[in-house]
Structure 1
Amino acid sequence: MTATRTLPARRLTRLAVAALLAMGAVAAAAQPAQRPNVLLILADNLGYGELGVYGGGPLRGAPTPRIDKLAGEGTRLTNMNMEPQCTPSRSGMLTGRYAIRSGTYAVPLGGVAEGMTQWEVTMAESLAEAGYATALYGKWHLGSHDGRLPNDQGFDEWYGIPRTTYEAMWPGSPGYSPEVTRPEYIMEGRKGEKSRELKVYDMDQRRQMDAELTRRTVDFMERQSHAGKPFFAFTSLTQPHFPSVPNAKWAGKTGNGDWADMLAEMDANVGQMLDAVDRLGLRSNTIVIFASDNGAEHLRPWDGWSGPWRGEYFSAYEGGIRVPFMIRWPGKIPAGRVSNELVHGTDVFPTIAHMTGARVPDDRPIDGMDQSAFLEGKTDKSPREGILIWVDNRLQAVKWHQYKMHLYKQDDMESPPAKLPVPYIFDLYTNPREDEHKRGPSWVLNPMLKMIGAFEASTKTYPLIPMGTPDPYQPPVAAKP
């Protein structure tokens, strides 16, 4: 009989523990890394100078401590550029394409099949394909009929308004009749179903809207957290778009008027969403972005503030396109960092796709650039050298590094555009107000014209989609070189 040796119990326990740990390490290595959640909060017509960290806050009648703190917890950009109108900027963010390519280059005024064709691939569709739960709460402005609403463009659910906030003023206007002009309705919908109208969007609902968007965003994050599913929550706030009024609970809070009360409310709503992220234990694995869709509100008495820049929305001046932008992802994106590197709204989709492992389509021109290495601090430089700036369907300006070329002169949305016989060229470092009497060097025309030429060459292979193009849309077959 062969003698057997019994291992001491202590040594057996150590070996068992080591084996279990090794097995756990192998299993963990075999599992994909947990994908980060995405909370994108987009303000509507929030000027560059409104928030405390951008020189506003108390100067505008209301401190913005929660948004300011968010900026310090991540990276804040001082040279984030959007399209100068609501519809184009949202289209660009969600598709990664200049809105001129998608037929979404201007705010639609009705009478056409406005919005994005279903051929466009949105960030929501890409994230849904990658296994994310997706939701939009708030303003859409990329199509107001079934087939072109958020639940037709990649969002599992949505609640909000299909068009814009100023229509809330219609029901209370003297002589208004819904038989003559149908009011805008608050709507909701789910993927695979038709959206339904809930109630007329009037001034009472306008005051309540952003509080409701905040509540629904928090509820969505709670549901997905409990389900263990990564999420993309797009909270498209309606403030401060005119009429710029606060919720009744905030009216009179600051003592400095509606605008300041509204700004204080916005800051508190953002704080509620951030608190929910922390309460759910999702802080370290959630990318939080706060931005504005374009420059400051123009119409009085609700006019906003562009800080040091000239112009407001609907203009190619810096005040029309340069917006607040901050992004937080603890452990991935450096905290307390401020950069003046050039970034564009079309960069959001490719960047988020890289951070989440989602797909960016490769069968069409994508104007956005992946900014993940720059935002994560792996490089100090943005890969972007310049942007093209359209106002409606006019190429109005070109920006290359700190230089700007204007092809048209247009002071604001109510001024007619005037084609310039000789372009204005500005150095934004020495002439941030884009003063026509202080011109920049003409040699910068060379790289700017190359940018225009490259874009125009791409349209020969991939023609621009005209505004009002109905579904189904299929691009023409590209000619073989």
Structure 2
Amino acid sequence: MRLADLAGLGRSAGLALMACMAAPQAVQAQAARPNILFILADNLGYGELGAYGGGATRGAPTPRLDRLAAEGLRLTNMNMEAQCTPSRSSILTGRFAIRSGTHSVPFGGVADGLTQWEVTLAEALSAQGYATALYGKWHLGSSNGRLPNDQGVDEWYGIPRTTDEALWTEAPGWSPEVMPPEQIMEGHKGEPSREVKVYDIAERRLMDAEITRRSIAFMEDQAEAGKPFFAYATLTQPHLPTLPNPDVAGRTGHGDWADMLAEMDHNVSQMLDAVDRLGIRDDTVVIFASDNGPEFVQPWDGWAGPWRAQYFTAWEGGIRAPFMVRWPGKIPAGRVSDEIVHGADIFPTLAVLTGAGLPHDRPIDGVDQSGFFLGGTERSAREAIPIWCAERLQTVKWRNFKVHFYEQETMVSPALKLGVPLLFNLYTNPREEKEKVAIDSWIIGPVLKVVAAFEQSVAEHPLIAMGTPDPYVPPQ
């Protein structure tokens, strides 16, 4: 959405987007490079874990994840992008996905995923001597040239796209001649990836246990070799179909969804136990997060806790996600913060903590949060987030306020462009419910500065269109 399209609101003076955010905290990289275990759940809502008000209230306590939350920093205002592909793109590139041609979950027939021109966190860490692995869901390209081992990952195993494709093999009328099934794949850097087997319902139930097993084996190998590692365990749960491992099915007595939650807690427990057993607890940054808000599709729909709506929307329920980070002796334990953070901040923050570099030839939207994470300041390094739903700049979040330029209730609802934006103070109206009188209209000023600044950056660095093939060369 262009600023000129915001009916009747005028054009604000252009400022650099970063000027709308606090200056990054300068933190020297540690002499000893920490390992990174990053566990990313798929469509886990804000309210699902015990530490966020769920757990037993969702049919299954989550004691190990709750303990992890208490062992470091737990964020209550971590914001991801509204869909799986864009959130994973912003995490790995430090750039809003609208810039990279990854603003929407792709369907067949296009060159889906990141162009090879993008620089990923895995590439930056690899250049620093890290061993890198991804096990699980990728969703940033589904053919050789755009798979994890083409983007800085030494080895990977998992699915290139998404879990709902596991339903195809049991769908009436489906045939592989009409639409080939999704394949579980594996690959190594410098080699083409290969297809391993069909990703069907049976394999869907087994996938997260295999992700856990492989992640542990990778950490064991690197610990034995004395090499720092980046283990990216991208779980497939609770994405639809939310079906637990057969070994867990029926354990809670509260159905598949609760069984899945118990399985997730168990899998995370196994990975954390491995970190302790290998004697690398104090040398390992552990992150657990979700990629966006909860499932919308019944009967697998999830829960966003106190927030409105689910993924694919700009409501808080679509973008607020659980996030916890532990680094014993570095990140203070038992800390909870409602400071605003975005998934794009993960790359620059980890770059500082590990001494990795960031590219300087493109806009990096993420900001370094290392000072905030390490307890050097109580304030986040940012105060604003533009929020896209697909290609629409739908909302801007600034401090504790939000301005919606479109209204879209669910992922299948039309996006209605508003003649007058909806304004919300999240402290007094956390459910983003309509008010008869907008008393906070002054926030339009700083919000439009954010929009204008982004437009200015796009004029200097044009967006990459979705479906752009390789090789991509940015225009001069």
TM interval, short-chain normalised: over 0.9
2:413 to 412, 415, 423: 415
1:376-455 alignment, distance < 5 Å? 376-437=374-435, 439-455=438-454
1:10-25 alignment, distance < 5 Å? none
Show the counterpart of 1:348.
Answer: 346
Q: Which amino acid aligns with 1:54?
A: Y
Equivalences, count: 446
Q: Which amino acid aligns with 1:395?
A: L
1:57-206 alignment, distance < 5 Å? 57-206=55-204
Per chain length, whose mean CA-contact separation is higher, i.e. which structure has more relative contact order (CA < 8 Å, sep 6+)?
A: 2
SS at 1:77 equivalent:
strand
Distance 2:287 2:248 in 1: 25
Q: Shift in Å at residue 195 of structure 1?
A: 0.2
Show the counterpart of 2:256.
Answer: 258
Q: Which amino acid aligns with 1:474?
A: V
Q: Which amino acid aligns with 1:116?
A: L
Q: Deviations over 1:233-291 (max 9, x none)?
A: 00000000000010000000000000000000000000000000000000000000000
1:310-349 alignment, distance < 5 Å? 310-349=308-347
Q: Deviations over 1:332-355 (max 9, x none)?
A: 101000000000000000000000
Show the counterpart of 1:20.
Answer: none
Normalised by the length of structure 2, the TM-score is 0.93
Distance 1:164 1:452 in 2: 32
Q: Which amino acid aligns with 1:471?
A: D
In structure 2, relative to structure 1, the CA distance for the partners of 1:247 and 1:450 (3 Å cut) is same
Q: Which amino acid aligns with 2:100?
A: S
Show the counterpart of 1:469.
Answer: 468
Distance 1:282 1:398 in 2: 40
Q: Shift in Å at residue 410 of structure 1?
A: 0.3
Q: Shift in Å at residue 35 of structure 1?
A: 0.7
Distance 1:458 1:176 in 2: 45
Q: Deviations over 1:149-169 (max 9, x none)?
A: 000000000000000000000
SS at 1:460 equivalent:
helix
Q: Which amino acid aligns with 1:275?
A: D
SS at 1:40 equivalent:
strand
Q: Deviations over 1:4-25 (max 9, x none)?
A: xxxxxxxxxxxxxxxxxxxxxx
Unmatched tracts of structure 1, length 5 or more: 1-31
Q: Which amino acid aligns with 2:345?
A: D
Q: Shift in Å at residue 383 of structure 1?
A: 1.2
Q: Deviations over 1:46-85 (max 9, x none)?
A: 0000000000000000000000000000000000000000
Paired residues of 1:426 and 1:440 also in contact (CA < 8 A): no
Question: Bigger radius of gyration, 1 or 2?
Answer: 1
SS at 2:321 equivalent:
strand
Show the counterpart of 2:302.
Answer: 304
Q: Deviations over 1:70-118 (max 9, x none)?
A: 0000000000000000000000000000000000000001111010000
Identity of aligned residues (%): 69
Q: Shift in Å at residue 437 of structure 1?
A: 2.4
Residue 228 in structure 1 maps to residue 223 in structure 2 = no
Paired residues of 1:427 and 1:440 also in contact (CA < 8 A): no
1:26-41 alignment, distance < 5 Å? 33-41=31-39
Unmatched tracts of structure 2, length 5 or more: 1-29
Distance 2:235 2:294 in 1: 15
Q: Which amino acid aligns with 1:83?
A: E
Distance 1:148 1:396 in 2: 29
Q: Which amino acid aligns with 1:41?
A: I
Paired residues of 1:351 and 1:369 also in contact (CA < 8 A): yes
Q: Deviations over 1:178-226 (max 9, x none)?
A: 0000000000000000000000000000000000000000000000000
Distance 1:311 1:110 in 2: 27
Paired residues of 1:115 and 1:143 also in contact (CA < 8 A): yes
SS at 1:116 equivalent:
coil
Distance 2:429 2:72 in 1: 29
Paired residues of 1:341 and 1:381 also in contact (CA < 8 A): yes
